[in-house]
Structure 1
């Protein structure tokens, strides 16, 4: 009986050892198929390489020399792949773009952009394809751009008059700032019929909010990358993002109500249909393959302001 127990124990130990070796070999084989990676610290991963470096792009360059054109980094518990060669970048962004079209999770941006329903922040899928189709076929097609051509011409003439007036007065001109104002006003008027540079205008407040969104989105959020900080707001970004969302939503609600009232009355025969009018038409079309909600429209407006970087930094 004792010999049988010893034999059984030996078989069990051999079985466990065999399974362990098999799992370890699979793990080693899998790691051999992954790009190389520098030594990572517990919890923070490779954050020390980026946080302590005054120029992260130079750090990436030095790592690429040592580890090759493709290597792995861990931002906390988030795995990342760094590409540093034109050939590999072409494969990712052109040849295999569908496989790499996903976007990194950013909880602050998700809160602001109505659950990541903004076109630029939405995950690749049916909604993203639907919005891309709308943008290409209706919002930014040739006919729409031609209709809004007077808006662009008017803002160009305003810029020329402004520069001419300052030249006559002998005043200096910061050309970069004036060109930024013109670009902002063109996009803002095309989007919702309002100029960014007018005082006491909703677009001014939207521009300020967009500045805050750009700054918040560029900050490193511990909750997104450190697993045990997921439900903690250690940096106050959750509170800040909800405050921005509330303010932006209130402003866009007033713009939407104004457009909807104008559409009901239809008294302004000289009104030029902006992109918001087109979006409202799409939302009311029952034949569309997907229903465009009010939040989707608000998110698209946010996307337009964020993607075109519509704000003016005044020193």
Structure 2
């Protein structure tokens, strides 16, 4: 049968025209993607011109104008910033799985431990395995209880050193002593077979971690997020890699010493013992690598030392700035504990004002003012479309200084956390109330919150019980730049003895 060419072209035209109409109709029904509001950005720089060295405060100021969810560009990097409790709750609870990964707000391309991170690991098999290991073996209640004597011993060392300064009439750098306290506790908990023999090993580890953090801090925002981020213009990346290699060599040496001693009986297992058992176990769900073990200790020390130390320093500063609140806390300790023994961990439950002081310090000077998340799949927040791979910053600083939630949010008022006095007494440290997020919330909340809380309560309680700290109220308070809440200047004071810790009963 002959084919009419004209009919064929007509049918083809009808098909193409119908297809075009279908797609136009389909696209017209599809809602356009809605993006969160954003300030006017500059080419290349993005919103650098709107940000100060105190990043959380800068973002808080922008949020007042652009809303609780906004888009910010820092160089070549883009972020969504959540600045209120309702938006934080959607991200950290309602859609926690979609936001269970973290992005790296740091120079990751200089990290020699490639893909060995735990704290910043993507949400997946390795992270879930390590989180379970932490919660069931490394930082579970029974394991923390076993380390009681380490915390007690290190706290007594600090109090004795302050008493010696009192006797000699010498000033004391409280910043250094509290940093050494938290560092030595973690090192002994993690590697007690090595770090319990002398303070030298713990000090060496601390110095290497400090060098690593200082090298990382020298890298500017432009070097981390700018268009030339892979070009080491000033050699800071090289110095960071050198510091990491030194840390790698020391921890490798310690691992080998543990392996050589593996046949020796041990009364209690420290963190290194537990990790090496998993490393050697052929039936383990995840076969840990040596780099993963090394980076775990680096994460542990970076996350747990300076943040806890800075929080204790802020508590002392605020109490000295508010003598009537210091007097109230001291009277509570003297009444509940007395003058014949030192305040200890079991006393904390009977010291509600001490608990309130710690909570208010963490609210006012949060150790983690910006919480980092990464969107794992397309979703919707506040009516805006969020694409997979989007980086999220949750401004915990703005949330915990929100005048809509907190009366006089910039004032130090521990009473707000007292039952029968303040409206916020029910808020706890674990992030169940999204107006109070000192340690984050959800799957990626801080795993060391229980340890940090124990250390803060007992150390602050012991210092206030045993000493008047003169001169610290005159310290020039200055924050380090960036998104940390740490103090830049040392907290130097003259300790004046009230009770001699060397003769007090410990229990």
Q: Shorter-chain TM-score: what band? A: 0.7 to 0.9
Provide structure 2 residue ranges, at least 5 long, that are not aligned to the other structure.
1-16, 310-487, 491-507
Query: Which residue is equivalent to 2:43?
Result: 42
Sort the Cα spacing of 1:163 and 1:231 in 2 relative to 1 into closer, same or farther, 3 A. closer
Sort the Cα spacing of 1:173 and 1:47 in 2 relative to 1 into closer, same or farther, 3 A. closer
TM-score (norm 1): 0.78
Distance 1:223 1:202 in 2: 33
1:9-20 equivalent positions in 2, closer than 5 A: none
Question: Secondary structure of 2:97's match?
Answer: coil
Query: Once the two structures are superposed, what CA deviation does each residue of 1:257-312 show, in whole Å capped at 9, x if it has no partner?
Result: 11111114x1xx56643211111111111221110111111111111111113599
Residue 226 (structure 1) aligned with residue 226 (structure 2): yes
Residue 93 (structure 1) aligned with residue 92 (structure 2): yes
- 1:210–1:310 CA contact under 8 A, matched in 2: no
- 2:69–2:81 CA contact under 8 A, matched in 1: yes
Query: Which residue is equivalent to 2:135?
Result: 136
Residue 296 (structure 1) aligned with residue 292 (structure 2): yes
Sort the Cα spacing of 1:55 and 1:284 in 2 relative to 1 into closer, same or farther, 3 A. closer
Sort the Cα spacing of 1:224 and 1:283 in 2 relative to 1 into closer, same or farther, 3 A. same
Provide structure 1 residue ranges, at least 5 long, that are not aligned to the other structure.
1-14
Query: Which residue is equivalent to 2:395?
Result: none
- 2:208–2:243 CA contact under 8 A, matched in 1: yes
- Which segment drifts farther, 207-216 or 188-197? 188-197
Give the C-alpha shift of residue 94 in structure 1.
Answer: 2.3
Question: Secondary structure of 1:256's match?
Answer: helix
Matching residue within 283, 301, 309 for 1:305: 301
Distance 1:232 1:86 in 2: 39
Query: Once the two structures are superposed, what CA deviation does each residue of 1:19-54 show, in whole Å capped at 9, x if it has no partner?
Result: 9xx8xx99xx645x110111111222112222xx35
Residue 59 (structure 1) aligned with residue 58 (structure 2): yes
Residue 282 (structure 1) aligned with residue 278 (structure 2): yes
Distance 2:54 2:225 in 1: 21
Q: Which fold has the larger relative contact order, with Cα–Cα distance below 8 Å and residues 6 or more apart in sequence? A: 2
Sort the Cα spacing of 1:166 and 1:195 in 2 relative to 1 into closer, same or farther, 3 A. farther
Query: Once the two structures are superposed, what CA deviation does each residue of 1:112-146 show, in whole Å capped at 9, x if it has no partner?
Result: 36114221121221111110011011111223223
Query: Which residue is equivalent to 2:258?
Result: 259
Query: Which residue is equivalent to 1:249?
Result: 248
Distance 1:96 1:254 in 2: 43
Query: Once the two structures are superposed, what CA deviation does each residue of 1:90-118 show, in whole Å capped at 9, x if it has no partner?
Result: 22222222222322245734543611422
Sort the Cα spacing of 1:209 and 1:197 in 2 relative to 1 into closer, same or farther, 3 A. farther
Distance 1:59 1:156 in 2: 37
Distance 2:258 2:239 in 1: 29
1:86-165 equivalent positions in 2, closer than 5 A: 86-105=85-104, 108-109=107-108, 111-112=110-111, 114-165=113-164
TM-score (norm 2): 0.50
Query: Which residue is equivalent to 2:8?
Result: none
Give the C-alpha shift of residue 206 in structure 1.
Answer: 2.3
Distance 1:79 1:140 in 2: 35
Give the C-alpha shift of residue 76 in structure 1.
Answer: 1.8
RMSD: 3.3
- 2:112–2:245 CA contact under 8 A, matched in 1: no
Query: Which residue is equivalent to 1:73?
Result: 72
Give the C-alpha shift of residue 248 in structure 1.
Answer: 0.9
1:128-207 equivalent positions in 2, closer than 5 A: 128-193=127-192, 194-195=194-195, 201-207=200-206
Query: Which residue is equivalent to 2:462?
Result: none
Give the C-alpha shift of residue 232 in structure 1.
Answer: 2.2
Structure with the higher fraction of residues in strand conformation: 2
Question: Secondary structure of 1:39's match?
Answer: coil
Give the C-alpha shift of residue 72 in structure 1.
Answer: 0.6
- 1:130–1:290 CA contact under 8 A, matched in 2: yes
Query: Once the two structures are superposed, what CA deviation does each residue of 1:219-258 show, in whole Å capped at 9, x if it has no partner?
Result: 435455334x254222434312321221111111111111
